[in-house]
Structure 1
Amino acid sequence: MSLLMLAVLGCMTGVTTVVFGFGGGFVVVPLVYHLLISSHSPGEAGHDAAMQIAVGTSTAVMVITASLATFKQRNAGKLVTGYIWPLAGYIALGAVGGAMLGSVMSSDAVRVAFIAYLGLTIADCLLREGFLRTAGQNKGRLHAAPFKGIGIGIVATMLGVGGSVMTVPLLRRSGLSMAQSSALANPLSIPVALTGSLMYGITGQLETQGISSGFLGYIYLPAFALLSVGSLIGVRLALPLAGRMPDRLHARIYILLLVLVGLALAFK
């Protein structure tokens, strides 16, 4: 896969950020992982730390995509702002631990954890009530926000997914629609993106020998630049689509995308 192709696929990142609140992680992580595996040999940092680099690059791209999507959706009045704070603060706290944990794990361990968590999330969405069809009763607040927020921050930053895989089902079960939940996933991904980018940039530089030019710690700068440009275009293209999809169809496509990402990472 060429780096130029990443710019095109970055548009997909922008679209999923707006429509599903993915923040880019579910597109960026598999793309960068396969790019690194195919372009580096075993024993090189780009190969042996491929999953950490994919995750670190994902968090950096999310700074751009989640911030722009949040700004646009806020101006359009699509954010239920009462759900953002203090949950975002607890997510930021957990993100520090998640980045530290992800940086010391092996690349294969992070990959297996990513796939396993996707599987658990898909099963939870399908088997437990409240996701495919919400009761429609807006609770106005989230219970046990500190525990949930820190947990989201740890898992999201370790796997580079921005937290949407956890926040969207959580918000759905709080009575919000898929459109509202997906929109809120973007501001709730910003703490993960900022903290993860900082931590992966530092820990990658300190812990991995052989990181060469083109990398800022675990952040692969050429991929970051091209994906960011493509994703900005995708965000702008997708904004008219936000909130227009029928709620249950929206939830089903969300689950389908999780399945496709899991399959993409399951096969090297």
Structure 2
Amino acid sequence: MDFFADYSMGWLIGLALSLLVTGIVAGLMAGLLGVGGGIVIVPVLYHLFTFLGIDEAVRMHVAVGTSLATIIPTSIISSRAHFKRGSLDAEILRKLIPGVVVGVVIGAIVSGFMDDQGLTAVFATIALLVALNMAFKKDSFSVREGLPGASGSGLLGVFIGGISTLMGIGGGTLSVPILSAMRVPMITAVGTGAALGFVISVPGAIGFLINGMGVESRPPLTVGYINLIGLALIVPATMLMAPVGARVAHAINATLLKQLFALFLFMTSLRMFYGLMS
């Protein structure tokens, strides 16, 4: 706890409020876009840890691991809210889950060999590509009608699970545009993405917890790569706001939902690239 002795009480209160606001925004995004909140939590934690002077060798790993842990309860609340409104497709989940689980395991293993800049680059690049796709893809654009067969769906699941784990996100960031391109209604893609967040976050968080055990220079109160302070402050806010986001998702049109999703991802990507270059 000597680490915090270097900061004033006012500064620490400001940090706590920042984490709470992060949780509020992340919860809204989880329910609204099915993204599990990680697309908000990872960059905010990364920059907070930078400001705190946390060693750059573990900074991104702790941000990703903590984000995955916070997504577990958020995805449960968000999925239940979408299920009650009929926007969760069980058949799509059945086809994707096996591949997603395999992808999460691969992502967790690979993350143990990647450095901080590697994880940051993955996050920024994928976020930018998804944002551009959502912003410029025409409504009439589609790859096919529905998911491919078992092999194709399995490969899609591996991609979604693996990249989502490396990014510390819940899966909706990738599954929403992919499902949308296969003519799945946007609101159904969002609800299904929220459910995939749970499938990704549980084994993903366990992987980051194991990978970080015994690693030096981690922030105080960090188990593995999961920071308990961020977890304790962010989770209550995300759980409170996720149902609100789900209600809003059913009250606005699909075009606006896509635009909001693209803008948010684009801004997030720019912040991360700036961090890599500075």
Task: Compute the TM-score of the two structures, normalised by the length of structure 1.
Answer: 0.90
Distance 1:172 1:147 in 2: 17
Aligned to 1:62: 71
1:254 aligns with 2:267: no
Distance 1:121 1:136 in 2: 15
1:157 aligns with 2:165: yes
The structural deviation recorded for 1:240 is: 2.2
Name which of 238, 248, 252 aligns with 1:241: 248
Amino acid at match of 1:122: A
Distance 1:29 1:104 in 2: 19
Aligned to 2:4: none
Identity of aligned residues (%): 23
Name which of 110, 116, 121 aligns with 1:107: 116
Distance 1:31 1:137 in 2: 34
User: 2:86 aligns to what SS in structure 1?
Assistant: coil
Q: Verify the 8 A CA contact 2:72 2:201 in the aligned structure 1.
A: yes
Q: Verify the 8 A CA contact 1:134 1:173 in the aligned structure 2.
A: no
Distance 2:200 2:235 in 1: 17
Aligned to 1:267: 274
Amino acid at match of 1:166: L
User: 1:2 aligns to what SS in structure 2?
Assistant: helix
Q: Residues 89-104 of structure 1: matches in 2 within 5 Å?
A: 89-104=98-113
Aligned to 1:204: 212
Distance 1:223 1:134 in 2: 41
Amino acid at match of 2:247: P
Name which of 19, 22, 43 aligns with 2:32: 19
Aligned to 1:84: 93
Amino acid at match of 2:35: F
Q: For structure 2, which runs of at least 5 residues remain unmatched after alignment?
A: 1-13
Deviates more, 1:183-192 or 1:232-241: 232-241
Deviates more, 1:236-245 or 1:136-145: 136-145
1:28 aligns with 2:41: yes
Amino acid at match of 2:104: A
Distance 2:109 2:16 in 1: 28
Q: 1:224 to 1:112 in 2, by over 3 A?
A: same
Q: Verify the 8 A CA contact 1:134 1:177 in the aligned structure 2.
A: no
The structural deviation recorded for 1:152 is: 1.2
Aligned residue pairs, count: 260
Q: 1:179 to 1:38 in 2, by over 3 A?
A: same
User: 2:129 aligns to what SS in structure 1?
Assistant: helix
Amino acid at match of 1:155: I
Q: Verify the 8 A CA contact 2:27 2:37 in the aligned structure 1.
A: yes
Aligned to 1:147: 155
RMSD: 2.1
The structural deviation recorded for 1:138 is: 9.3
The structural deviation recorded for 1:248 is: 1.4
Distance 1:138 1:235 in 2: 31
Distance 1:135 1:48 in 2: 41
The structural deviation recorded for 1:213 is: 4.5
User: 2:112 aligns to what SS in structure 1?
Assistant: helix
The structural deviation recorded for 1:13 is: 0.6
The structural deviation recorded for 1:32 is: 0.7
